[in-house]
């Protein structure tokens, strides 16, 4: 019996939810750091007298690291396993975040944020591939979107923490940004939990010719799920090493082109918006504390966005959920950029968060489905790396609009709206539906 038959035949149970939480907590910690650094930059702009260009470079340094992490971690996961790479990238991310608390100036912070990004960029696509390979086919889309929802919880945690630290700092001389980075280093301790509790993907093990190990893990999952053991897993020849040029081979070129367009648009819009948002709000005349509170409200809207997307992907499908979410995010972005009052900022900002993060959830679930097991890490990591190119360019583009073109809120968010529409068109024209199909059926 194929390993896929036994995994896809399992009911959704305690094991899958534990895997979701274990992987999701890593996602939450990563998100909390990304959120905290956006608040830190709003403080350092004043404390270190940073220009708009320097703020953009600091944000882009972490995203450049994410490009490197995504480019290499996916291939490493196809060679050495999902679990090992997930643990190492989380450790790199955590330790580098702690070192950011020791930064003594702009240049040192840029270097350290590059290291943080390497860990973060490698971890996320590998975690999504691991969860998708365990999830039963009929629940796979929903489970991976729920995994991505931990990102919203991390951003909420960052916003709450920043709000508390800002209140504390108001009475003690300023926002304690070094404390924020030290808190962000705590996930290093979580690696020890992962080492004991997180199993390797049986699909990966079979593809590497390690059938006995896959059989042992599947039997444990079946026992925990309360179902009898299936027939023994049929050994398969070890798959050849993944090569990136195969991503544009027969049957995959169209998918890769669609995913690269999608990831670029999503990362450009998300990181450009949220890394700059605290600084932009302060520039619009709001206090640091008020801007942090606005972002907390806006961030809370991410959570229902994820859950709505998680329901829709199994109800109507990935493609027809993703493209409308991106288009509606583009509409909300335009109106957010032209909001004339604080209530309008909050309303349109909440809609931007709702649709953008819902689309992100579908993106992370959709991507690993479109590649075979031996290419899944490489394909997902490379798509994420292309996305990071957009993420690197976005903060720089915002800084350029502000400093060189004299543009404001309206011009910046019109740019994000246009990029989102282009990404949605890529999904509509090149995407295919995967709902209800096993990973093996999708990859042919």
- Provide the pLDDT for residue 316: 93
CA distances to 44, 126, 196, 338 from 372, in Å: 45, 14, 28, 44
Domain span including residue 119: 3-443
Distance between CA 382 and CA 396 in Å, rounded?
Answer: 22
- Provide the pLDDT for residue 231: 84
- Provide the pLDDT for residue 269: 92
CA distances to 18, 33, 419 from 224, in Å: 11, 34, 45
- Provide the pLDDT for residue 313: 92
Distance between CA 364 and CA 325 in Å, rounded?
Answer: 14
- Which CATH number belongs to the domain containing residue 235 in this structure? 1.20.1250.20
E strand or H helix that includes residue 80? helix 52-80
Distance between CA 197 and CA 193 in Å, rounded?
Answer: 6
* Model confidence, pTM: 0.79
Map residue 430 onto helix, strand or coil.
helix
Q: Is the dihedral of CA 436, 438, 443, 444 positive or negative?
A: negative
- Provide the pLDDT for residue 151: 84
- Provide the pLDDT for residue 242: 63
Backbone φ and ψ of 418, nearest 5°: -65, -40
- Angle, helices 253-283 vs 373-403, to 10°: value is 30
- Provide the pLDDT for residue 327: 97
Q: 251 — alpha (psi -120 to 50), left (phi > 0) or beta?
A: left
Residues 6+ apart with CB under 8 A from 86: 23, 26, 77, 123, 126, 127, 130, 194, 198
HSE, side-chain direction, 13 A CA sphere, residue 148? 29
- Provide the pLDDT for residue 369: 92
Compute mean pLDDT per 10 residues along the chain, 444 residues long, and list them: 85 90 84 78 79 77 83 86 88 88 89 90 84 89 88 83 72 71 79 79 89 92 86 75 77 94 94 74 66 79 91 93 97 89 86 94 92 88 89 81 70 93 96 88 74
Q: Are 159 and 34 in contact (CB under 8 A)?
A: no
**Token pair in block for residue 368:** 């690993």
- Provide the pLDDT for residue 423: 97
Cite the beta strand spans of 272-361 per DSSP E.
Answer: none
- Provide the pLDDT for residue 424: 97
CA nearest to 396, candidates 64, 93, 116: 64
What's 113-178 look like in SS3? HHHHHHHHHHHHHHHHHHHHHHCCHHHHHHHHHHHHHHHHHHHHHHHHHHHHHHHHHHCCCCCCHH
- Angle, helices 288-300 vs 140-170, to 10°: value is 160
- Angle, helices 288-300 vs 253-283, to 10°: value is 150
- Provide the pLDDT for residue 145: 87
- Provide the pLDDT for residue 266: 96
Q: Are 109 and 157 in contact (CB under 8 A)?
A: no
Q: Are 262 and 363 in contact (CB under 8 A)?
A: yes
Q: How many domains does the chain have?
A: 1
**Token pair in block for residue 19:** 């895997």
- Provide the pLDDT for residue 444: 61
DSSP 11: P
- Provide the pLDDT for residue 240: 64
Rounding to the nearest 10 degrees, give the CA dihedral for residues 91, 93, 95, 100.
180
CA distances to 38, 52, 157, 431 from 32, in Å: 10, 23, 6, 31
Residue where the block lists tokens 């709902």: 435
**Token pair in block for residue 144:** 């991976």
- Provide the pLDDT for residue 337: 85
């Amino acid at each position: 019996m194929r390993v896929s038959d036994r995994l896809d035949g399992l009911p959704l149970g305690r094991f899958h939810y534990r895997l979701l939480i274990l992987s999701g907590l890593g996602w939450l910690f990563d998100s909390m750091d990304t959120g905290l650094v956006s608040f830190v930059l709003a403080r350092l702009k004043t404390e270190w007298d940073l220009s708009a260009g320097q703020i953009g470079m600091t944000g882009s340094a972490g995203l450049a690291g994410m490009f490197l992490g995504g480019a290499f971690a996916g291939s490493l996961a196809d060679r050495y396993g999902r679990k090992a790479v997930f643990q190492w990238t989380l450790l790199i991310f955590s330790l580098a975040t702690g070192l950011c608390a020791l930064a003594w100036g702009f240049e040192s912070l840029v270097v350290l944020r590059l290291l943080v990004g390497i860990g973060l960029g490698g971890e996320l696509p590998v975690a999504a591939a691991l969860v998708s390979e365990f999830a039963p086919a009929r629940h796979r889309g929903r489970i991976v979107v729920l995994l991505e929802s931990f990102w919203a919880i991390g951003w909420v945690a960052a916003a709450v923490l920043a709000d508390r630290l800002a209140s504390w700092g108001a009475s003690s001389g300023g926002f304690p940004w070094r404390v924020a980075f030290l808190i962000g280093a705590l996930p290093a301790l979580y690696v020890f939990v992962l080492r004991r509790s997180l199993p390797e993907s049986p699909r990966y093990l079979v593809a590497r010719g390690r059938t006995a190990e896959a059989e042992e893990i599947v039997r444990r999952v079946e026992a925990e799920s309360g179902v009898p053991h299936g027939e023994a897993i049929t050994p398969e020849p070890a798959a050849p090493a993944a090569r990136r040029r195969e991503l544009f081979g027969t049957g995959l070129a169209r998918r890769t082109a669609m995913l690269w367009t999608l990831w670029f648009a999503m990362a450009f819009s998300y990181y450009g918006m949220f890394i700059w948002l605290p600084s932009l709000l302060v520039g619009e005349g709001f206090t640091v504390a008020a801007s942090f509170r606005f972002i907390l409200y806006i961030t809370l809207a991410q959570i229902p966005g994820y859950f709505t997307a998680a329901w829709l992907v199994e109800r109507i499908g990935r493609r027809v959920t993703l493209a409308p979410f991106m288009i509606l995010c583009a509409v909300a972005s335009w109106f957010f950029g032209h909001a004339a009052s604080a209530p309008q900022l909050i309303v349109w900002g909440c809609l931007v968060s709702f649709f953008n993060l819902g689309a992100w959830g579908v993106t992370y679930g959709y991507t690993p489905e479109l590649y075979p097991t031996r290419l899944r890490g490489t394909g997902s990591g490379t798509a994420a790396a292309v996305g990071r190119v957009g993420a690197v360019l976005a903060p720089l583009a915002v800084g350029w609009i502000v400093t060189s073109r004299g543009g404001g809120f309206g011009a910046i968010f019109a740019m994000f709206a246009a990029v989102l529409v282009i990404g949605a068109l890529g999904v509509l024209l090149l995407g295919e539906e995967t709902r209800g199909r096993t990973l093996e059926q999708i990859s042919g």
